[in-house]
Amino acid sequence: MKIKLNRPITINGVEMKEIELDFDKLTGADLISASRESGLLGDNALVPELSKQYLAVVAAKASGLNVDDIMKLSAKDFTAVTLTVQNFLL
């Protein structure tokens, strides 16, 4: 699934105008790892699927990007990406 960005970002010198989320490549181990990683970022949500940090980590895993890159998205783009991940998980 591709998400067109309202405000492109530059990652490693490359301007990205969209982010592709490949949910088919994710495994259960990826989701557990995302839960651990979001916990290291200070997340203590009781329901991970409702946590923006957890959703950002899953988005990073699905896109092949670094979670820091996902966090740099504009608020509107970040919300679009995390809502897409949330819809996939729920």
10-residue mean pLDDT profile of the chain (90 residues): values are 96 95 97 92 85 96 96 97 96
Q: What pLDDT does residue 58 have? A: 98
Contacts 24+ apart (CB under 8 A), 13-21: 19/59, 19/63, 19/65, 19/81, 20/63, 21/59, 21/62, 21/63, 21/81, 21/84, 21/85, 21/88
Q: What pLDDT does residue 48 have? A: 83
Q: At what angle do helices 28-40 and 52-63 cross, to 10 degrees?
A: 130
What's the total number of domains in the chain?
A: 1
Domain with 39 in it: 2-89
